[in-house]
Amino acid sequence: MMPARVLLLVSLFLIVACSEQRDTGQTGNTLTLDQILGRDLSPEQVTRNFDPEQVARGQALFRKNCAACHGQNAEGTPDWRKPLENGRYPPPPLDGTAHAWHHSTEELKNFILNGGPPGEGRMPGWAGILADQEVDDILVWIKSLWPDEVYQGWYTRIENRPK
Ligand code: HEC
């Protein structure tokens, strides 16, 4: 039988090891919604005061440039979690059901402008094709699609995470 003290040490180690895997949103795919919406989430609702004209511009730009891969409503490919035969992943949903909300606005914008992942070019870069403002418009439209709890978790834990 293992002495209780050893057991305690082992479980402490496991707890530490697990919490260190916690994704900060930088590379983003291990955090669950429950983890994001953790204990100390501020109770007041985060509201989105998006300009409806900007949202409409973003939608039009998205449908023209991005929908061929990501879908008319940013719903992505049904099997986006499954790699294709070439080992690459199909375009994911951006509507709040996948990982896009694990990234800050700045990270999303950089990804859209430069494509990626770096060196692999699975997602084409849009620098020189879309203006900065157009990418901002698209991002506002994308965020307008996210369910309230997703937007709130993103806003508190990702966009305004402690530096
Ligand atoms: C040719 C197909 C294609 C087009 C067109 C395209 N994308 Fe993508 N996009 C992808 C693929 C594939 C990925 C997944 C890349 C990966 O494996 O990480 C992706 C990933 C993304 C991500 C990261 C999602 C996440 O969960 O982290 C964002 C944001 C994104 N695309 C936005 C856009 C926007 C905005 C446009 C239009 C301006 C666009 N995409 C056009 C194929 C495309």
CA dist 71 and 74 (Å) reads 5
**Residue 13 placed within a domain:** no
Nearest-CA residue for atom 7 of ligand 1: 123
Residue 43's pLDDT band, with cuts at 50, 70 and 90, is very low
Q: Per the domain annotation, does 86 fall within a domain?
A: yes
Interval 38-42 mean pLDDT:
47
Instruction: Give the mean pLDDT of the chain.
Output: 80
Structure confidence at residue 35 as a pLDDT band (50, 70, 90): low
Residue 5: predicted pLDDT: 60
**Residue reference for tokens 């806003």:** 155
Q: Give how many domains the chain has, as a whole number.
A: 1
Closest Cα to atom 5 of ligand 1: 66
Provide the pLDDT for residue 87: 81
Q: Is residue 20 part of a domain?
A: no
Q: What is the CATH number of the domain that holds 87?
A: 1.10.760.10
Q: Does pLDDT of 17 surpass 50?
A: no
Is 156 inside any structural domain? yes
More confident residue, 114 or 17: 114
What is the extent of the structural domain holding 144? 51-163
Helix (H) or strand (E) holding 15: helix 4-20
- The answer to the question of residue 27 being in a domain is no
Distance 56 CA to ligand 1 centre (A): 20
- pLDDT confidence of residue 122: 80
Which candidate, 77, 83, 98, 93, places its Cα nearest to that of 28?
Answer: 98
For residue 58, CA distances in Å to 64, 113, 140, 143, 149 come to: 10, 15, 7, 10, 22
- The confidence score (pLDDT) of residue 133 equals 98
Share of the chain above pLDDT 70, in %: 69
Q: Is the bond leading into 118 cis (omega within 30 degrees of zero)?
A: no
Domain-embedded: residue 15 = no
Q: What is the pTM of this model?
A: 0.78
- Cβ of 61 closer than 6 Å to ligand 1, yes or no, is no
105 domain residue, yes or no = yes
- Please compute the mean of the pLDDT values over residues 97-101 and round it to a whole number: 94
74 lines ligand 1 (CB under 6 A): no
Q: Is residue 115 part of a domain?
A: yes
Residue 105 confidence (pLDDT): 97
